[in-house]
Amino acid sequence: MHSTLSPSSPTIIPLKPIEATPENFAPFGQVITASSDGDRFGPQDAQLELHRGVPRLYIMKLEDQHLKFASITHHASVTQCLGSIGGDEWYLGIAKPSILKESEIGNEDGRKPIKALCEHYYIPPNPNEVCVFRFSGPKFVKLNVGTWHAGPLFKKRTMDFYNLELSDTNVVDHTTHNFRKNDNVVFEIED
């Protein structure tokens, strides 16, 4: 149920998180769980796209990432992997990829494409199509190229995450949609 605080306040959209599994997260990427040492590479492993630059694997320290978000981001040139150090519970707001190929521009069914600073075209995410996934335990997520994401978000004051992307992802491949500014909505995770 949507609730409006006042005429100038954004609509708060409450979202119930879904526990992420390889099956329910498939439209957005992959959920990777532990496998035995020596297992051969296969579809259960992260299918990475890191060929457009120098890969960067680092530990990202985040603080005060409350269970509320008003903006969402995608990367058009790389898959991104995230996971909590220690397997603590965390959340990710998600919307389906909406990057357009050149041949698709003009066939958007009335939705207006936007040219990103990174030179690709996309359709802004629809607030009604945003959902939230919960990640618990020793697993990580691989986001498909173009998957919109908000977070990681968590209840603790601070958490560390490993992050695999390209060395310049946050400089040259970081497209953000602000729901508060463009749609007058804010999402709040109810868990």
Beta strands in 136-174 (DSSP E): 139-143, 148-153, 158-166
The domains found in the chain, sorted by start residue, are 12-32+52-189 (2.60.120.480)
pLDDT for residue 6 is more than 60: no
CB 62 within 8 A of CB 163: no
Q: Which helix (H) or strand (E) holds 170?
A: helix 169-172
Phi-psi region at 92: left, alpha or beta (left = phi > 0; alpha = psi -120 to 50): beta
Residue 169, classed as helix, strand or coil, is: helix
pLDDT number for residue 118: 82
Average pLDDT, stretch 156-162? 96
Q: How confident is the model at residue 4 (pLDDT cuts 50, 70, 90)?
A: very low
* Residue 76: pLDDT over 60: yes
